[in-house]
Amino acid sequence: MTRIGIILGSTRPNRAGEQVARWVLELASKREDAQFELVDLRDFPLPHLDEPMPPSFGQYQNEHTVQWAQKVASFDGFVIVTPEYNHSTSGVLKNALDYLFAEWNNKAVGFVSYGAHGGVRAVEHLRVMAGELMMADVRAQVVLPFATEFQNYRDFEPGEYCLPQLAGMLDQVIGWSQALAPLRAQPSGALQ
């Protein structure tokens, strides 16, 4: 069964992303074409990148990196739930992506973003990073502006129109994750 990790890309106190990620997980878990797991970056407290070798070498020396690599490697694709901070994604999410290389390769990724403008600028940056990490970013995404999807800019209450957006994005992530499976089965480094 295809395994999809839902990465919660914020660790702030009172983060809106937790409500969003749990909504994604709840709806995704009703599907029968993949298994889903919430991956909270709070559970992987990575310091600023502190590995002596570049991630593309795969020679991890710190236990926190090994644990993070094992978690990421266990998935076939991802949904990243990202806030928008200063026209980009969160520093903690960028750092988590930067820690690894091969574990991201040949996996699909979709995005659910939230913020003052729905988080679209954060996703623009994440798409560029995904390409460098040899991930296939899908076209469909879910955009959640604070003004329309959060009561008082705080309590997440998505409109019904968000459901087909989420379903479409999940369809693409699962489809691409399955299509990329033969590439992931090749010996490490075969396509680098």
pLDDT per residue over 33-72, tens digit each? 999 999 999 999 999 999 999 999 999 999 999 999 999 9
Using CA atoms, how far apart are residues 63 and 110, in angstroms rounded to an integer? Answer: 28
What is the 3-state composition of the chain as percent helix, strand, coil, each rounded to the nearest 5?
40, 20, 40
Say which residues have a Cβ less than 8 Å from residue 111's Cβ, sequence separation at least 6: 79, 80, 81, 82, 123, 126, 127, 137, 141, 142, 169
Of all helices (H) and strands (E), which one includes residue 180?
none
Confidence at residue 188, expressed as pLDDT on a 0 to 100 scale = 60
Segments in 10-117 forming alpha helices (H): 17-28, 63-73, 91-98
Domains in the chain, ordered, with CATH?
3-185 (3.40.50.360)
Helix (H), strand (E) counts: the chain:
7, 7
Token reading at 8: 């919660």
Say which residues have a Cβ less than 8 Å from residue 95's Cβ, sequence separation at least 6: 46, 48, 49
Confidence at residue 186, expressed as pLDDT on a 0 to 100 scale = 85
Entry pTM = 0.96
How far is the CA of 60 from the CAs of 31, 63, 64, in angstroms? Answer: 35, 8, 9
Say which residues have a Cβ less than 8 Å from residue 140's Cβ, sequence separation at least 6: 110, 165, 168, 169, 171, 172
Residues of the chain with pLDDT under 50: 189-192
